[in-house]
Amino acid sequence: MKNENIYDVVGIGVGPFNLSLACLTEEMSELKTIFFDNKKEFDWHSGIMPEWSTLQIPFIADLVSFADPKNKFSFLNYLKENNNLYQFFIRESFFILRAEYNHYCKWAAQQLSNVHFSSHVENVHYDQDKQHYVVTVRKNNVEEFSVLAKNIVLGTGTTPITPEFCKNISNEVHSSANYIKHKSEYQHKKSITIVGGGQSGAEIYYDLLSEIDVHQYQLNWVTKAPHFFSMDLGKLTLEYTSPDYTQHFFSLNQDKRDQVIQSQSALYKGIEIGLVNRIYDLLYQKSKTSKIQTRLLPNCVIESVTNQDNQLDLVFKNLDVNQKFKMKSDVLILALGYEYKIPSFLQPLNNIVNWDNKGRIKVNQNYSANDHENIFVQNVGIYSHGFTVPDLGMGCYRNAIIINKIMGKEIYPVEQRIAFQEFKPLPEEIVA
Ligand SMILES: Cc1cc2nc3c(=O)[nH]c(=O)nc-3n(C[C@H](O)[C@H](O)[C@H](O)COP(=O)(O)OP(=O)(O)OC[C@H]3O[C@@H](n4cnc5c(N)ncnc54)[C@H](O)[C@@H]3O)c2cc1C
């Protein structure tokens, strides 16, 4: 690196994926990096974090281990430095608390001098003369400055899905992402309706069900899915979260990929089976010991919400019988999943970034998104790299590929083949 003002990598957004990139590049003296995030400090989905909630993948999927298990930012080193290794060992669970994971990431972020918070990236454009990206950042909502970058890595994450008809309707339509902040408020209401049958909806339902007899609210849980389905975590299914399957999925044509991803809901959208069973057991227990008011409605899609005299009128359609029905509720909590939104700061690069015929960012196999392969994306492209794109377990794999590409050599070896099963015919066995 000759020019001190030019960064090899500018990371935009610091969630777990770009934090992992920062950790994995921290000791690479030949690479000059800087990362910006608009939050005041690192924070990972703390708005929906009941204290009992755990990660859905084993702790080995930490910020660094799959690329570099000897790295000082490993979860085991975090435990050691926080005098917690023995308790973790005795607890005998691979699944750490989500609050613990958040604390671990904060611990890592605090040790990185090149990660800057309260820094909102407002604009990125390409300077043809200098042949660099110019990243404009607003610090603490006031001061504005720019840095130059050879490569940029977008790690801006995803945002909660809100149907158009729910936007700006009332104060009583809430997102699951802010559940913890409003929980005590909800518990003073007479009726609460949760819409969404995935993990977040299930966690909120379980959490509110735990105290239904104390507060005596009516608690409804509605999902569009034909049943409250659990995530398939069978070990042969988990092989689909492998480098092999990611490469196979990428090798399919776009129509096939779009078709395959539609059929894989149970691989990443369902509820963790242990939680499904705990919900059932709790329902059984509460219904035998007190009079509780709760409804579970599968196969029902929400169609409209209106505010009538400080109560919400919710209209649903039962997809089995194709009939609409209405329900009243004091509060509606939407837990409809998350979606990627193309960041507005990217607009000046619209002609540089590649797009597919559905207007989505076209992601190359090495996670770059332009012909020069120097704009990289994290957590983008379920339609190109498969359902593991948001999976924390694949973060190190993706970062190893990005780092190797930027460095032009192998820094972190990337496993090619780990699955026992085969996802396509062997070339020598193909019949013409
Ligand atoms: C509640 C919840 C639980 C999950 N649990 C698991 C799990 O157990 N296992 C698993 O594998 N996956 C899990 N996931 C999925 C996935 O791991 C998370 O979505 C993860 O947070 C994705 O990380 P990220 O780095 O893409 O982005 P995020 O964590 O969303 O972070 C993006 C960051 O970018 C910042 N940002 C955005 N725009 C700008 C800008 N213009 N300038 C500066 N900063 C900006 C945001 O403020 C944010 O801090 C979970 C997701 C959710 C919502």
Specify the pLDDT at position 2. Answer: 41
Taking only the tens place, the pLDDT of each residue in 183-222 is 999 999 999 999 999 999 999 999 999 999 999 999 999 9
Give the pLDDT confidence score for residue 154 in this predicted structure: 98
pLDDT interval class at 406 (50, 70, 90): very high
CA–centroid distance, residue 15 to ligand 1 (Å):
5
Residue range(s) occupied by CATH 3.50.50.60 in the chain: 6-158+340-407, 162-230+269-334
Sequence-ordered strand ranges (E) for 37-167: 115-116, 119-127, 132-139, 143-154, 159-160
Q: How far is the CA of 341 from the centre of ligand 1 (A)?
A: 13
Q: Tell the residue nearest (CA) to atom 41 of ligand 1.
A: 121
Separation CA 145–CA 193 (nearest Å): 45
Among 367, 382, 429, which residue's Cα sits nearest to residue 258? 382
* 256 contact partners, CB below 8 Å, separation of at least 6: none
Question: Which candidate, 416, 393, 403, 398, places its Cα nearest to that of 59?
Answer: 393
Mean pLDDT of 306-331: 95
Mean pLDDT of the chain: 96
Residue minimizing CA distance to atom 5 of ligand 1: 55
CA–centroid distance, 283 to ligand 1, in Å, is 32
Does the domain at 162-230+269-334 match CATH 3.50.50.60? Answer given as yes
Q: What are phi and psi of 142, to 5 degrees?
A: -125, -75
Looking at ligand 1, which atom is closest to the CA of residue 18?
25
Give domain 6-158+340-407's CATH architecture. 3-Layer(bba) Sandwich (3.50)
Residue from 75, 147, 156, 388 to probe ligand 1 pocket by mutation (most atoms less than 8 Å from CB): 156
Average pLDDT over residues 304-325: 95
Supply the pLDDT for residue 4: 52
Q: What is the mean pLDDT of residues 409-423?
A: 96
pLDDT digits (tens, 9 = 90+) for 252-261: 999 999 999 9
- Residue 123 contacts residue 343 (beta carbons within 8 Å): no
Taking only the tens place, the pLDDT of each residue in 218-250 is 999 999 999 999 999 999 999 999 999 999 999
Cα–Cα distances (Å) from 247 to 65, 147, 197, 306, 390, in that order, read 21, 34, 30, 46, 16
Q: Is 326 helix (H, G, I), strand (E, B) or coil?
A: strand
For a mutational test of ligand 1's pocket, the pick from 20, 21, 37, i.e. the residue with the most ligand atoms closer than 8 A to its C-beta, is 37
Report residues whose beta carbon is within 6 angstroms of any ligand 1 atom.
12-18, 36-39, 44-45, 48, 55-57, 120-121, 155-158, 200, 338, 343, 345, 378-379, 390-393
| Average pLDDT of span 30-42 | 97
Q: How far apart are the first and last CA of the chain?
A: 51
Q: Ligand 1: which residue has its CA nearest to atom 15? A: 390
Over residues 151-176, mean pLDDT? 92
Between 105 and 266, the higher pLDDT residue: 105
User: In the predicted model, what is the mean pLDDT of residues 263-286?
Assistant: 95
User: Quick one: pLDDT at residue 181?
Assistant: 96
- Is 227:271 a contact under the CB 8 Å cutoff? no
Query: What's the CA dihedral at 51, 56, 62, 63 to 10 degrees?
Result: -90
Across residues 325-347, what is the average pLDDT?
97
Q: Kindly tell me if the per-residue pLDDT of 1 is higher than 70.
A: no
Task: Look at residue 365 and give its three-state secondary structure.
Answer: coil
SS3 at position 346: helix
